[in-house]
Amino acid sequence: MAEKIVHINYVRIAGALVLAITIQVVLGHIWGRAHFYLNPLTIVVLFAAIQGSPIAGMISGSLAGVFQDSFSGQLIGVSSFSKTLIGYAMGVLNIKLVIRSVFFLAPLIFLASCAEMLFAVLLDRIVQVRPIVTGSSILTVACGNALIGTTIIKLGDQIAHAKKK
Amino acid sequence: MPLHIARKREVILLLALQIAHLIIISAQVPLHGRTTVLEAAVFNLLSPFQRATAATLTGIASFYHDYIGLRHARTENIDMRKRLDQALLELNRLRTKQQDVQRLEQLLRLGETLPYEMEPARVIGADSLNPMKTLFINKGLLARIRHNCPVISPEGFLVGRVVTPIAPSQATVQLLTDSEASVGAILANSRTYAIVSGIGNGRCLLRFVPSIVDVAPQEEVVTSGLDQIYPRGILIGRVVSSLTTGSVFKDITIQPVITPNQLEYVLVLTGEKPSGPDATANPN
């Protein structure tokens, strides 16, 4: 299997994370139930992992987690832990499998989102803190992430392809 | 850098990050319900940003709602103006109707008090050349209105008499202000008989009052009944001026009580009411 070394633009990742947290905050203000259907920060982490590398996934996961925990009132580190793990796993998986098909990408993002939230719930349970996500919201957020994430990643692919041409 | 070394570095970085996260989490686990220093620090650090975000979003939302509200207010204002115009039209229509009803009630009351058969009629027009000459009413032969029937106002003041032409449902009324009209009259105080003649300008002359009779301004002039047309005692007008010119009779001007161009309804006296028990039992 071919492996590639990708140079990561961390400024872009940081910008994308700021944009994602802004979208999350604004959506939350406009529609109180927005966080039940989408997690833009997870999408950025998965995007960085798939378009970049495992390190990009980890770094973005850590930063995204800190952002999310800070803004959600959760214990800081819970989301970071789970997002870092998912970012890394997704990055490694992308290197091994070269995920590009929509029919593969969407379920993978769905599963990654579910796993990320389940990790967070597990950590909350361990430290005996009430989790902020519920079973049904895990599914709805994972669906939303799969839909929007797949679209964004495919758009990113097309833009990169167009630039190469 | 060889790939396996890079991979090892990734794993080491992952472990380092996760250990760091676990340490951070451990430092925040609430003990006995107290807030940890890290929680407080993060809260203090982020609260201005959250306040600013909330204020900005609230401001934008408020501006948007105000704008939408303003647009709605404008549309609503136009709609309300239309409805107000319609309501005013309706109000005016109802006022007119109420006034009509009041006048008709007045006519009805007058009809009950006077000993004459009466036919209420609406004024539908006037002489276009001289409105002090004739009126047209919406009742005619079908309502038993005949030539020389006296016509009075709803208040009971003399208006004039019916003259030809008379149609089945329309009739002409000669006003007492017409220059060709004459009415047998009597001065209310001095009880002096005279004749009221129209002069065509809205006023009338009281003729054939001897110079020796004292006539006071504002003295009332009523019908005498001697002309065999108008019943006795209907108020015609009041004396405006009385001049003694050296001749046998005085020059007296009277102001009729009615104002012809303000009349909307009139009563036509079609005959005397039948009196007595027989008449009540069988009016025909």
- Give the nearest chain B residue to A70 (CA atoms): B42
Check if B40 contacts A (Cβ < 8 Å).
Answer: no
Would the CB atoms of A129 and B30 count as touching at under 8 Å?
yes
pLDDT (0 to 100) of residue A2: 46
Q: Which residues of A touch B3 (CB under 8 A)?
A: 3, 5
Q: Could you state, in order of their start, the residue ranges of all structural domains in chain B?
A: 56-113, 117-176+265-272, 182-258
Q: Which residues of B touch A25 (CB under 8 A)?
A: 53, 57
Would the CB atoms of B22 and A81 count as touching at under 8 Å?
yes
Specify the fold of B182-258.
Answer: Thrombin, subunit H (2.40.10)
Domains B117-176+265-272 and B182-258 share a fold: yes
Q: Which residues of B touch A58 (CB under 8 A)?
A: 10, 13-14, 17
Domains and CATH numbers, chain A: 10-160 (1.10.1760)
Cα A125 to Cα B25: distance, rounded to the nearest angstrom: 12
The per-residue pLDDT for range A60-108, each reduced to its tens digit, is 999 998 888 887 777 788 888 999 999 999 888 888 877 777 778 888 8
pLDDT (0 to 100) of residue B278: 47
Q: Which CATH number fits domain B117-176+265-272: 3.40.47.10, 3.40.640.10, 2.40.10.340, 1.20.1730.10?
A: 2.40.10.340
* Six token digits for residue B130: 């001289």
pLDDT (0 to 100) of residue A54: 87
- SS in 3 state form for chain A? CCCCCCCCCHHHHHHHHHHHHHHHHHHHHHCCCHHHCCCHHHHHHHHHHHHCCHHHHHHHHHHHHHHHHHHHCCCCCHHHHHHHHHHHHHHHHHHHHCCCCHHHHHHHHHHHHHHHHHHHHHHHHHCCCCCCCCHHHHHHHHHHHHHHHHHHHHHHHHHHHHHHC
Q: Across the interface, which of B21, B42, B53 has its CB nearest the CB of A70? A: B42
Would the CB atoms of B10 and A65 count as touching at under 8 Å?
no
Check if B29 contacts A (Cβ < 8 Å).
Answer: yes
pLDDT (0 to 100) of residue B137: 92
pLDDT under 70 in chain A at which residues?
1-8
Q: What is the mean pLDDT of each run of 10 residues along chain B (284 residues)?
A: 75 87 78 64 73 82 84 88 94 90 80 81 84 88 91 90 89 91 91 91 90 90 91 92 86 91 88 61 38
pLDDT (0 to 100) of residue A110: 92
